[in-house]
Amino acid sequence: MKKRIAIVDDDPKLGHLFATVLQRDGYDARAFGTPQGFLDTLDTAPPDLVLTDLQMPGLSGTELLQTLKMRGLDVPVIIMTGHSSVRSAVEAMQMGALHYLQKPVNLEEMRALLARALDLYDAQQELAQIRSGERSRYAPGALVGEGATLARVRETLRTLRNAPDTTVLIRGETGTGKNLVARMLHHASARHAGRFLEIHAASLPEASLDGVLFGIENEQTGLLEAAEGGTLFLDEVAALSPLLQQKLATVLETRTFRRVNGLEEVHVNTRLVCTTSADLEALVSDGRFRQDLFYRIHVVTLALPPLRTLGPDVLAIARALLDGLARDLARPVHGFTPDAEAALAAYPWPGNVRELRNVLERALIFSSTPLVDVGALALASAALPRPADAPYDGFVFPDGGTLDALERAYLEYTFARSDASLADLAVQLGISKKTLWEKRKRYALDDKRTA
């Protein structure tokens, strides 16, 4: 579809010339002799770009810019002006005009500027759509579950929309969704247009983490600085060394820091969201976590519950995860059998939502039926207690393998740990007996069992 350009100039010959040149370039360009004549067409033919003279009878270019904004038309506006009015054109740019062209207008300069402006506008629109999708994906309502516990979490998230600078501590066991909630905090706040950057404090040694967080003078920008205007998500804050705890406490108190090897103080406007699965109060009591930092990150606390405590919400979360994974993996699966639902509800989920997601992804890979059956979940053996000194006999994913290698390895594992018939194994795997026989033949699995 052709880009629509509106040219507003009280000189009809000039407007006609510009429209003709731009039409030859493939644009849908139209000239208007008065600002009001252009405004009358907004509802039926809104433009993608406006090229307007600054000095015109009735409405000036600056007043036209203000009118467009009041009417909700957020498109690039380029001002044309004579030499004596350059200052006014600069003032128009401060009010939202993208750029200005000085008269007499150089046609090549005009064509190049309009092309760049339209490309920039397209990129901005695409970015806005991406961010809008992210905000929808990470809205508090995306936290699935009808129970009182998750309802309180959602309500706290909604309340924090109006506190975009408040430091938040998210607590919970590993795998409870702390990363997801941190993103919800970011996208629900006034900081959503800024960057969301994250780092796991336990993943780097102290020297490296210092540079990553605070930057190195003349060498690298730290994440605190790179997330300016947005959110820095610091996962497992309890893993920080005493020195980094002190530096972080200073940042939260003064909003300033020094880069590694730097002398000048850097001011920063970055929101900090921290998580921990540790008992911070015990660490403070033992002198392993600074008390002043504890109080500064403890302004608002969000406690995420273990999956095993959520009752019926376990199935609601499982269904939502299954729907998303089925779309991502392009699998025609839309639910669970009653036996599978019973197993999901009874399983203790030591790895919480992260484990649930991994179980469902594996089940989708090996399921060829519309409903995931209990066998495909592979939960039964994991739920059985095992002596502490017993060797691990669970399934091991092959390193760097293809999907075929993964499927073959899982079938070999299943055959090795069961004496069941092919028919029973097919039920456990959530596939037909014929499909299992074909897979056994395909992978040349040396297994002599029969129906």
**Lowest model confidence (mean pLDDT) among 113-127, 324-338, 347-361, 362-376:** 113-127
* pLDDT tens column, 60-71: 888 898 888 888
End-to-end CA distance of the chain: 61
Strand (E) or helix (H) holding 6: strand 4-8
pLDDT-based confidence at residue 23 (cuts at 50, 70, 90): very high
Task: Give the angle 304-306-307 at the CA atoms, nearest 5°.
Answer: 115
Element (H, E) at 372: strand 371-372
Q: What is the mean pLDDT of residues 137-147?
A: 67
Helices (H), 163-205: 178-188
Q: Is 361 within 8 Å of 320 (Cβ atoms)?
A: no
pLDDT of residue 251: 93
Domains 4-132 and 308-442 share a fold: no
Mean pLDDT over 418-445 rounds to 74
Distance CA(411)–CA(255), nearest Å, equals 56
The vertex-359 CA angle with 401 and 434, nearest 5°, equals 70
Give 432's DSSP letter.
-
Structure tokens at 123: 């990129």
Report the alpha-carbon distance of residue 53 to residue 104 in Å, rounded.
Answer: 12
CB proximity list for 241: less than 8 A, separation 6 or greater: 206, 209
Q: If you search the block for the tokens 């404090």, which residue do you land on?
A: 201
Partner residues linked to 29 by β-bridges: 5
Report pLDDT digits (tens) over 185-219. Answer: 998 888 888 889 999 888 888 888 999 999 999 88
Fold classified for 308-442:
Helicase, Ruva Protein; domain 3 (1.10.8)
- Average of per-residue pLDDT values in the chain: 83
pLDDT at 399 over 60: no
Alpha-helical runs (H) found in 147-285: 148-159, 178-188, 206-214, 223-226, 242-254, 280-285
The helix-helix angle for 433-442 and 422-429 (nearest 10°) equals 100
What 3-state class would DSSP assign to 301?
Answer: strand
Give me the mean pLDDT over the 335-354 stretch. Answer: 89
Residue 58 Rama label (left phi>0; alpha psi -120 to 50; beta): left
Find the mean pLDDT for residues 311-316. 90
Task: Specify the higher pLDDT residue, 5 or 443.
Answer: 5
3-state secondary structure of 323: helix
Residue 139: HSE in the Cβ half-sphere, 13 Å Cα cutoff: 8
Question: 3-class DSSP state for residue 27?
Answer: coil
Is pTM beyond 0.85 here?
Answer: no
Return the DSSP state at 47.
-
* Class at the top of the CATH hierarchy for domain 144-305: alpha beta
CA 209 to chain centre: 23
Give the domain ranges of the chain. 4-132, 144-305, 308-442
> What is the CATH superfamily name and number for domain 4-132?
Response regulator (3.40.50.2300)
The answer, yes or no, to whether residue 75 has pLDDT greater than 50, is: yes
- At 116, the pLDDT band (50, 70, 90 cuts) reads confident
Q: What is the pLDDT of residue 414?
A: 77
Mean pLDDT of 390-412: 62
